[in-house]
Amino acid sequence: MKNIFNFKRYWAGKDSKFDTFLMVAAIAPVPIFEHFITRTAASITNSNKEKLSTKIRNEVIRLVSEELDHSHDHRTINKIMSEHGYPIDCINHNIEEYFLSFDDKKCQEKLALVVIMEFKIRQLSEDAPLSPLLFNEGVHFNTVKSFLLEHAKDELGHYNVSIDLYKELNIPRRILLKYLLKFSIGSFIGYIRILNRVLHSQNLGFKDTIYFWLHTTKRMFWGKQAIASSVIKSHIDLIRTVFLWK
C-alpha cells in the first residue's frame, strides 16, 4: 500500500486532467459511504442478535473491520487529493449531511442502502481499474489500479455479506428495489454536482469547461466502453439476484 500514497495531481486516463476529475468525483465520497456501512451494519446486527446466525454475525464483524481499514486508506488518499487542490472536505461535508438524514429511517431502509452502497463500491473497485478509458499506463496508473483491485477482493465479499444479512432478516425485496432506483437516480445527480464542484475548484476557462462536459458525456454514454454500459449491466445483475434469491 505504501506506493499508492505518492501519486501526482493528474493520474488517470488518456486525457489525464479531465479523466482524473472523473475519478476524483467517484473516489472522494467512499469513506463517507464506508462509515455509514460500518455504523449501520454493526447497529442492526447488535439489535437483532437473536434473529441472526452465528455465521452471519461473525461475517458482519469481519466486514466492519475490513471497511474500517479501507476507510483509513481512502481518507489518506483524500488528504493527498485535497493537497493537490481538489475540494474534498466540501464534497464530503455535503454527503455527510445526506446520510445524517437517514438517522430517523427504519432499519430495513438503512440496510437496503447498505446493500446498494456495497454494490456501488464493489462496482467502482472492479470496473474502474480495468477501463482503458479511465486509466493510462505508468507508475501512477499501476499504484491506483492495484489499490482499487486489492479492495475489490474484499468488496465482493462485503456485498455478499450485506445480501445475506438482508435475507436473513427477511426484509422484503421491494424495499431494496425501491432504494436501488432512488439511490441510483440520486447518486447520478450527486455525481454531476460533485464534478461541477471539482471543475470550479480548478479555475478552468470557458473553453476548457465546455470541452470537459463534452468529454464527460462521451466517457459516460458513447461507445462500447462507456461508463453507462457497465453501470446498466451491473444493475441488471443486481435486480436478477434480488428476484432469484430464495
pLDDT digits (tens, 9 = 90+) for 38-97: 999 999 999 898 888 999 999 999 989 988 888 888 888 888 889 888 999 988 888 888
Instruction: Give per-residue pLDDT as tens, 134-158.
Output: 555 444 455 666 777 777 777 778 8
- A 10 A CB-CB count for 153 gives 11
Q: What is the pTM of this model?
A: 0.83
Burial (0-12, 13-18, 19+ Cβ within 10 Å), 46:
exposed
Q: How many CB atoms lie within 10 A of CB 43?
A: 13
Using alpha carbons, select from 201, 120, 151 the residue that is nearest to residue 4.
Answer: 151
The C-alpha atoms of residue 15 and residue 99 are separated, in whole angstroms, by 33
Tens digits of residue pLDDT in 94-145: 888 888 877 778 888 999 999 988 888 877 776 665 555 555 544 445 566 6
Distance CA 3, CA 174 (A): 43
Beta strands (DSSP E) in the chain are none
- Rounded to 10 degrees, the C-alpha dihedral 224/12/30/120 comes to 10
**What would the pLDDT profile of 180-236 be if each residue is shown by its tens digit?**
888 888 888 888 999 999 988 888 888 889 988 988 888 888 766 677 777 787 788
Q: What percent of the chain has pLDDT over 90?
A: 10
Residue type, 124: L
Integer angstrom CA distances of residue 214 from 119, 132, 144: 28, 18, 25
Instruction: Give per-residue burial for 89-125: e unless 16+ CB within 10 Å, then b.
Output: eebbeebeeebeeeeeeeebbbbbbbbbbbbbbbbbb
CA–CA separation, 103 and 198 (whole Å): 28
Architecture category of domain 16-244 in CATH: Orthogonal Bundle (1.10)
Mean pLDDT of the chain: 81
Residue whose entry in the numeric block shows the C-alpha cell 431494496:
176
